[in-house]
């Protein structure tokens, strides 16, 4: 009876080490958290503000460093001012789209929502830079409660910039949003049953041995505007975070192994398409 807790502790430690270490072959949860920390350290990042722009600068420099072809989309906000998307592409027809919003609700550091998603995206960028047909984006102005818009403005601007031919070529599209806190890994979508992007993520999760389940949602992240704009998309999220939109949404709460698990699933799904 006494041995059981030790075994449990050892397996937990192994999982933590696997998730947090920076193995050269795998996805590093620790590095994803370090990127998230850079964004959270800027301060509050409401859409249209200086810190959102600075977050965009961090992403742009990293994409450029890795050799992505980078464009910055700027778009107006309903209350005035402008927000931005930073988009990195590899050569070839777009097959995979991965987005994460970098803006946050005022009054919070927006570490889990959603520096966590941007951190995972930046770590994925290192893993996907040699593949053709990849579009990664850090989006602005996702938080509708702040922008007062009926849309997720960044993903709407991105989706509208794609031609019908480009949309038709996409095989996997997803939003990484809130992936550092919570007990359940969910793949989410607007549909009653998983669309093709959600299916690809769920299949990837089972291939890599990470438990994930489908949970329908009403469009609470950027997959909403991608899907409505003609690119069937999914949202990957760890749930639930009691500090959502609260001042306690701080970087120390992000667990590297949760970032690692989300990143591993997305990477596996993406490599099935562009690998």
Chain contacts with Zn ion (rule: CB under 5 A)? 113-114, 177
Q: Which is nearer to Zn ion, 174 or 274 (CB)?
A: 174
Q: How near is the Cβ of 115 to Zn ion at its closest, in Å?
A: 10
Q: Work out how close the CB of 97 gets to Zn ion at its nearest, in angstroms, rounded to a whole number.
A: 17
At closest approach, how far in Å is the CB of 5 from Zn ion?
A: 37
CB of 155 closer than 8 Å to CB of 99 = yes
Q: How far apart are CA 215 and CA 193, in angstroms?
A: 9
45 vs 255 by CB, closer to Zn ion: 45
CB of 114 to Zn ion, least distance (A): 4
Rounded to whole angstroms, the Cα distance separating 219 from 228 reads: 10
Question: Cβ of residue 178: shortest distance to Zn ion, in angstroms?
Answer: 6
Shortest reach from residue 121's CB to Zn ion, in Å: 13
Q: Which is nearer to Zn ion, 66 or 233 (CB)?
A: 233
Task: Convert the chain into a string of H (helix), E (strand) and C (coil).
Answer: CCHHHHHHHHHHHHHHHHHHCCCCCCCCHHHHHHHHHHHHHCCCCCCCCHHHHHHHHHHHHHHHHCCCEEEEEEEECCCCCEEEEEEEECCCCCCEEEEEECCCCCCCCCHHHHHHHHHHHHHHHHHHCCCCCEEEEEECCCCHHHHCCCCCHHHHHHHHCCCHHHHHHCCEEEEECCCCCCCEEEEEECCCCCCHHHHHHHHHHHHHCCCCEEEECCCCCCHHHHHHCCCCCEEEEEECCCCCCCCCCCHHHCCHHHHHHHHHHHHHHHHHHHC
Q: Whose Cβ is closer to Zn ion: residue 90's or residue 112's?
A: 112
Nearer to Zn ion, 123 or 177 (CB): 177
Q: Which of 123/143 has CB closer to Zn ion?
A: 143
Nearer to Zn ion, 26 or 43 (CB): 43
CB of 175 to Zn ion, least distance (A): 8
């Amino acid at each position: 009876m006494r041995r059981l807790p030790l075994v449990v502790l050892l397996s937990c430690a192994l999982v933590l080490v696997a998730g947090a270490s920076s193995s050269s072959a795998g996805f590093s949860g620790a590095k994803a958290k370090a990127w998230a920390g850079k964004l959270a350290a800027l301060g509050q990042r409401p859409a249209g503000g200086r810190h959102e722009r600075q977050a965009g600068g961090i992403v742009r420099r990293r994409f450029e460093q890795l050799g992505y072809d980078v464009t910055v989309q700027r778009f107006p906000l309903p209350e005035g001012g402008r927000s931005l998307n930073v988009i990195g592409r590899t050569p070839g027809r777009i097959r995979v789209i991965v987005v994460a919003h970098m803006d946050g609700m005022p009054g919070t550091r927006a570490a889990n929502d959603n520096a966590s998603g941007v951190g995972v995206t930046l770590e994925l960028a290192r893993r996907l830079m040699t593949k053709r047909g990849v579009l990664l984006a850090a989006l602005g102005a996702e938080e509708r409660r702040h922008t007062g818009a009926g849309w997720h403005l960044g993903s709407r601007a991105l989706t509208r910039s794609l031609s019908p031919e480009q949309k038709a070529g996409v095989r996997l599209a997803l939003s990484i949003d809130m992936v550092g806190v919570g007990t359940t890994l969910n793949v989410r979508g607007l549909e009653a049953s998983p669309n093709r992007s959600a299916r690809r993520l769920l299949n990837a999760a089972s291939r890599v041995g990470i438990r994930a389940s489908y949970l329908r949602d009403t469009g609470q992240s950027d997959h909403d505007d991608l899907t409505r704009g003609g690119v069937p998309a999914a949202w990957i999220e760890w749930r639930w975070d009691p500090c959502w939109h609260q001042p306690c949404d701080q970087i120390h709460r992000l667990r590297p192994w949760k970032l690692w698990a989300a990143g591993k699933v997305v990477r596996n799904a993406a490599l099935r398409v562009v690998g």
